[in-house]
């Protein structure tokens, strides 16, 4: 099922490349060659790299958007080193690079060779009235005890394992609620069981409107490696 609804006026093309960079490049090139876009906007490293390559091959302006600090995001693994090398080679060749903060822009300029005139900072927007409306909606809370909440995809970079280990050392006064889903779901559940936290840690899965859970929490905590 789709996590977010898409207006009917938007045509969606699902490439189904199963996370393969090579397959993604081939499928994206074929799709964009057929669509002949006036401009292409992409998000996240792999899509950004592919967008730049296809833009040079097909002759359209490639606008990319980097959402995190690249120096922190590219791990010191073989794959991370390769991603960092590709970022240095291709990001400077994008027609425009959109960044959510001055810090991300500075990292791209100083460490990845992006010219400062190409780096445009557009902070993430916040619709305060909509957030208040969403937070006021009724929702079932899985615990009657005060709780701390964390939210994000259950993947390595979000470092929920660190959060669980830290939570095991704090006062038993609070529960912990993890909002989100991802490939580490079962591994994190197993870790919570190993640390005898199963009765205090609640895995809510993906929630379309998480704000009622957040607004009633004692605190929001983030253990991400890159944000």
Confidence check: pLDDT of 1 > 60:
no
Token pair for 56:
């040079």
Q: Give pLDDT tens digits for 61-73.
A: 999 999 888 888 7
Confidence check: pLDDT of 174 > 60:
yes
Buried b (16+ CB within 10 A) or exposed e, 130-155: eeeebbeeeeeeeeeeebbbbbbebe
Phi/psi of residue 193, each to 5°?
A: -65, -45
Q: Give pLDDT tens digits for 134-158.
A: 999 999 998 999 999 999 999 988 9
Q: What is the pLDDT of residue 75?
A: 67
- In this structure, of 79-88, 141-150, 207-216, the range with the lowest mean pLDDT score is 79-88
- String of DSSP letters for 115-159: -GGGEEE-PPP--HHHHHHHHTS----S-SS-EEEEES-SSGGG-
Within 13 Å and on the Cβ side, how many CA atoms surround 206?
9
| Whole-structure pTM value | 0.77
Token pair for 79:
């794959």
Confidence check: pLDDT of 15 > 90:
no
Q: Which helix (H) or strand (E) holds 43?
A: strand 40-43
193-221 mean pLDDT: 94
Confidence check: pLDDT of 78 > 90:
no
């Amino acid at each position: 099922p789709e996590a977010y609804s898409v207006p009917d006026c938007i045509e969606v093309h699902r490439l189904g490349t199963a996370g393969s960079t090579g397959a993604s490049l081939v499928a994206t090139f074929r799709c964009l060659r057929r669509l002949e876009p006036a401009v292409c906007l992409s998000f996240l490293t792999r899509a950004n790299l592919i967008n730049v390559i296809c833009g040079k091959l097909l002759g359209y302006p490639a606008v990319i958007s980097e959402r995190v600090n690249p120096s922190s995001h590219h791990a010191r693994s073989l794959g991370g080193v390769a991603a960092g090398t590709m970022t240095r080679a291709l990001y400077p060749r994008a027609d425009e690079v959109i960044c959510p903060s001055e810090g991300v822009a500075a990292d791209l300029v100083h460490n990845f060779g992006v010219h400062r005139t190409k780096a445009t900072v557009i902070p993430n927007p916040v619709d305060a009235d909509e957030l208040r409306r969403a937070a006021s909606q009724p929702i079932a809370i899985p615990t009657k005890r005060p709780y701390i909440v964390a939210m994000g995809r259950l993947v390595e970079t979000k470092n929920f394992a660190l959060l669980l280990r830290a939570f095991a050392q704090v006062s038993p006064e609070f529960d912990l609620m993890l909002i989100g889903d991802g490939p580490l779901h079962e591994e994190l559940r197993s870790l919570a069981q190993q640390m005898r936290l199963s009765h205090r840690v609640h895995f809510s899965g993906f929630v379309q409107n998480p704000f009622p859970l957040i607004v009633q929490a004692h605190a929001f905590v983030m253990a991400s490696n890159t944000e």
